């Protein structure tokens, strides 16, 4: 199975790569979106909320950084009905100069949560170059 993630091109101050939904939500909260972009963002967020499960409602600890400090969410390649919305988010980020990256992996990490459309994973430990 191929997994797909869209995230910030560079890590934040905590060393994490924010997902594109978090990046777009930050733009919306800051008032940076045009009325047209805000309306699209609001409708798309509402549609996505209705279209797939929020892992945090299944396992309230899944997004607790004290429990799982380095998790990330990945779509399954089969979730095309959800992936079809991604270009709109990427276009908003592009218009605001927010750099993003697409990652694809057959093994993004240890799966902590899984449903028909997505996985939440703890990434595999990275071995520093000098310790290999």
Residue pLDDT tens, the chain, 132 long: 999 999 999 998 888 899 999 999 999 999 999 999 999 999 999 999 999 999 999 999 999 989 988 899 999 999 999 999 999 999 999 999 999 999 999 999 999 999 999 999 998 875 445 554
Question: What local confidence, expressed as pLDDT, does residue 130 receive?
Answer: 52
Q: What is the CA radius of gyration of the chain?
A: 15
Which residues fall within 8 angstroms of residue 11, CB to CB, at 6 or more apart?
A: 17
Question: What local confidence, expressed as pLDDT, does residue 126 receive?
Answer: 57
Tokens of 35: 């009325």
Question: What local confidence, expressed as pLDDT, does residue 73 receive?
Answer: 96
Question: What local confidence, expressed as pLDDT, does residue 16 receive?
Answer: 87
| Cα–Cα dist 5/64, whole Å | 20
Distances (CA, A) of 88 to 1, 16, 37, 52, 104: 25, 23, 9, 18, 19
């Amino acid at each position: 199975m191929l997994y797909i993630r869209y995230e910030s091109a560079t890590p934040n101050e905590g060393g994490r790569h924010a997902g594109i939904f978090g990046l777009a939500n930050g733009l919306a909260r800051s008032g940076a979106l045009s009325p047209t972009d805000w309306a699209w963002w609001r409708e798309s967020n509402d549609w996505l909320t209705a279209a797939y499960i929020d892992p945090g409602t299944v396992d309230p600890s899944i997004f607790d950084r004290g429990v799982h400090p380095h998790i990330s969410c990945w779509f399954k390649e089969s979730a095309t009905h959800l992936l079809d919305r991604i270009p709109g988010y990427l276009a908003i980020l592009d218009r605001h100069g927010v750099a993003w990256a697409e990652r694809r992996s057959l093994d993004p990490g240890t799966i902590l949560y899984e449903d028909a459309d997505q996985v939440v994973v703890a990434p595999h430990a990275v071995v520093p170059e000098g310790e290999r």
